[in-house]
Amino acid sequence: MSFSEFTEQDYRIIREDYERLRASAEKRCASSAELEVVDRAFEFANDAHRNVRRRSGEPYMLHPIAVAQIVVDDIGLGYKSISAALLHDVVEDTEYTVDDIRERFGNKIATLVDGLTKIKNVLDSKQKAEGPEAQSLQAENFKRILLTLNDDVRVVLIKLADRLHNCRTIEHMPEHKRDKILSETMFIFIPLAYRLGLYGIKSELENIWLRYKEPDAYEDIKARMDKIAREKGPELTEFVAPIEEALKRAGFTYEIKKRQKTPYSVWHKMQTKQVAFEEVYDLYAIRIIFDPKQGDGTESERDQCYRIYSTITGIYRYMPERLRDWVRHPKSNGYEALHCTLLSNSGVWIEVQIRTRRMDDIAEKGIAAHWAYKKSGYLGEGDYEMDNWLSHIQEILANPNVNALELLDIIHNDLTSTDIYVFTPKGDQRSVPKGATALDFAYMIHTEVGNKAIAAKVNQKLVTLNYVLKTGDKIEIITAEDGCPQPEWLKFLATRHARDVVSDYLRAERKQSVEFGRKTLDNAVSALGYTLDEALLQRLEVAYEAESRDTLLYGIGIGDISLDKLPEILKRSSGTRLSWIRKVLRLEKSQDEAPKGNGETFIIDSTDPNAPHLAIATCCNPIPGDPVIGFKAPDGTVTVHKKTCPVAESIAAMHGDWVVVPKWLEQIEDRSFPVRISLKGIDRMGMLNEITGLVSQTMGLNMRSLSISADGGLFHGYIDMFVNSREILEMLIKKLNAISGMDTVTRIEL
Positions marked catalytic: 92-93
Strand bridging mode 475-479 / 453-458 = antiparallel
- The residue among 326, 410, 415 whose CA lies nearest residue 362 is 326
Residue type, 659: V
Element holding 506 (H helix, E strand): none
- The residue among 273, 294, 382 whose CA lies nearest residue 331 is 382
User: Helix 357-375 to helix 153-168 angle, to the nearest 10 degrees?
Assistant: 140
**583 three-state secondary structure:** helix
- The residue among 624, 548, 528, 619 whose CA lies nearest residue 583 is 624
Helices and strands in the chain: count of H runs, count of E runs? 29, 23
- Partners of 719 in beta bridges: 677, 706
Alpha-carbon span 368 to 107, nearest angstrom: 21
Alpha-carbon span 154 to 92, nearest angstrom: 19
Give all strands (DSSP E) within 332-385, no chain letters.
338-343, 349-356
- Partners of 287 in beta bridges: 257, 353
Radius of gyration for the alpha carbons in the chain, expressed in angstroms and rounded: 28
Q: Cβ distance 24 to 73 under 8 Å?
A: yes
Q: Cβ distance 312 to 252 under 8 Å?
A: no
Up-side HSE of residue 319: CA atoms within 13 Å toward CB?
A: 17
**437 three-state secondary structure:** strand
Which residues are CB-contacts of 607 (< 8 A; sequence separation ≥ 6)?
none
Residue type, 500: D
Which residues are CB-contacts of 134 (< 8 A; sequence separation ≥ 6)?
127, 128, 634, 657
Alpha-carbon span 673 to 747, nearest angstrom: 13
**104 three-state secondary structure:** helix
First-to-final CA distance of the chain:
43
Residue type, 45: A
Alpha-carbon span 433 to 420, nearest angstrom: 6
Question: Virtual CA dihedral for 622, 625, 630, 635, nearest 10 degrees?
Answer: 60
- The residue among 676, 697, 682, 700 whose CA lies nearest residue 739 is 682
Element holding 312 (H helix, E strand): helix 301-313
Alpha-carbon span 425 to 641, nearest angstrom: 48
Element holding 355 (H helix, E strand): strand 349-356
Backbone phi and psi for residue 703, each to the nearest 5 degrees, phi listed first: -85, 135
Environment class of residue 416 by beta-carbon count within 10 Å: exposed (0-12), middle (13-18) or buried (19+)?
middle
**128 three-state secondary structure:** coil
Which residues are CB-contacts of 91 (< 8 A; sequence separation ≥ 6)?
97, 98, 101, 113, 114, 117
Alpha-carbon span 446 to 426, nearest angstrom: 16
Alpha-carbon span 141 to 153, nearest angstrom: 17
Alpha-carbon span 714 to 687, nearest angstrom: 11
- The residue among 485, 481, 482, 398 whose CA lies nearest residue 440 is 485
